[in-house]
Amino acid sequence: MKKLALLCLALAMPVSAANVVIVNANNASATDMDAVQRIYLGKLKAFPDGSKALPLTYDQGDGTRESFNNTVLGKSESQYSAFWSKLVFTGRGTPPETVASQEEMVKLVGTNPNTIGYVDESLVNDTVKVVGTF
């Protein structure tokens, strides 16, 4: 009976922390999830305060990227790729730069006030601040 209770408790625990959208800790712009979506879809090239916005993402096939695309952007991976292919082909945009890991994402966002990215909330440190959760 004790083993069953422990198993139930283990299954009830969350598997991972939430994912969060981050900007540099010194970014004073009031960025909300609507602005995040518009930045990642190339419709907004600057933060609300007017400073240039440089979105970062992960390589195709990354689980955090898939979650972000589905939840925040409302697009599957294939829809997101097709969307950016069309913008690039017509000369109307450049897709977000890709990074190899969440640690690299935190490092880049933490050292450049114009960048925006997303990571597991457990990786947030004092060089970045959270502007949204997904």
pLDDT confidence tier of residue 120, bands split at 50, 70 and 90: very high
Asked if residues 42 and 104 have their Cβ atoms less than 8 Å apart, the reply is no
Alpha carbon 83 to chain centroid distance? 17
Largest CA distance in the chain: 64
The four Cα atoms 119, 102, 60, 16 give a dihedral, to 10 degrees, of -50
Percent of the chain, pLDDT > 70?
88
pLDDT confidence tier of residue 8, bands split at 50, 70 and 90: very low
User: Of the ranges 4-13, 28-37, 59-68, 86-95, which one carries the lowest mean pLDDT score?
Assistant: 4-13
- Total residue length of the chain: 134
Mean pLDDT of the chain: 90
27-55: pLDDT as tens digits:
988 899 999 999 999 999 999 889 999 99
Evaluate if residue 17 carries a pLDDT over 60: yes
Evaluate if residue 2 carries a pLDDT over 60: no
51-71: pLDDT as tens digits:
999 999 999 999 999 999 999
Token couple for 84? 């950016």
